Chains A and B, each alone.
Chain A
């Protein structure tokens, strides 16, 4: 997902306090920032929410790439609004992470130093306009699968950020589907572009949910703490079941020869993505990892004088009336 393979931190707290904490979570209570929480809960959440926030921000890059080249003024305005939403989602999430005692600048620096990650999906390039459709339809569609249950997560500020995000996310998926629909009903060349975008984004989208449950060792603690609400395989299955009929409607073919409806389980059987590729992308060897981080680093460095200058201006304004007296 936007937060893939978040390792649960070990916790070494008093067993009695831990049990009382778990009882609060089991009773459906929300945990608020200043309340007692196990160190492992705090650290796992910082990592997960931080990774989610970084994904929103880095996720602006592949789409921002097409703002100046959108085919019509209307598409351009829509894409601009969508990318602006992603910035907003990043900010809601950084704020939620900050309530746990980490600062936004610390999070940004951890990302730039390679100590924190963002979703693997944003390391793939957006080569054609149809890719913008595929990103909205598939990538935002996969994100929604994960984010809707996270609205019920146990940590109050995270839950509230998710509620805001989910309200806005549906626009993102629909605008993507709308682009795909236009392309799929267009000229032969446009149909070909739509199919090509689906071919390239299908497996990377399936990877967004993280490795198979049998290889996902950190899930149990996070699920007990309600900071992970479903297993990776559950969400992936749900995503495939929802998306295949949409692809059929578009007249596009999902690039999986083994995709089949399984009446017995009431869902599709489908091929696993190439997990070797997934781990390579996470290690930094995907097609765009270096480019994405370089863009973030450049924005951080080039913005330094603006951040400093505005602070200096604010300090000057504060002291001005005193100087005048």
Chain B
């Protein structure tokens, strides 16, 4: 059997100037074809104005088993949220 085309992750920037967002993946032999396939698979309804294609093998992901040590430390820093502080009504919007 032949070798399978490698997997690519596809990121698309929508109309409204937001960040590129991961939309899915696809198989393609190289970056150029990954780009063409991404256009056909993920922007058939005018969803994007820009596409990034990245070989899936190039992505390093955080490990689910380290979810605790990785993200929990931010939970006890509630003062990072503006609602932590009381602002007197007389001050108005701040």
Contact = CB atoms under 8 A, between A and B. Distances in A.
A241 interface: no
Contacts of A88: 40-41, 44
A233 interface: no
A317 interface: yes
A98 B7 contact: yes
A168 B45 contact: yes
B54 interface: no
Interface in A258-309: 304, 307-308
Task: Summarize B's interface: helix, strand, loop or mixed.
Answer: loop
Contacts, number: 52
A307 B29 CA distance: 8
Interface in B1-51: 1-5, 7, 24-27, 29-30, 33, 40-41, 44-45
B61 interface: yes
A311 B2 contact: yes
B60 interface: no
Interface residues of A, number: 29
Contact of A310 (B25, B33, B44): B33
Contacts of B61: 34
A104 B4 contact: yes
B63 interface: yes
A105 B4 contact: yes
B30 A91 contact: no
Interface string A4-41: 00000000000000000000000000001011100000
Contact size class for B? 20 to 34
B4 to A, nearest CB: 5
Contacts of B5: 307, 310-311
Contact of B1 (A85, A91, A105, A314): A105
A246 interface: no
A307 B41 contact: no
Contacts of A310: 5, 29-30, 33
A32 B64 contact: yes
Contact of A311 (B1, B7, B29, B41): B29
A37 to B, nearest CB: 11
Contacts of A109: 1
A95 interface: yes
Interface of A: 32, 34-36, 81, 84-85, 88, 91-92, 95, 98, 103-105, 109, 160-161, 164, 168, 304, 307-308, 310-311, 313-314, 317-318
For the complex of A and B, the 7 pairs showing the least CB-CB separation, nearest first, are A314-B30, A310-B29, A314-B29, A35-B64, A105-B4, A308-B2, A95-B25
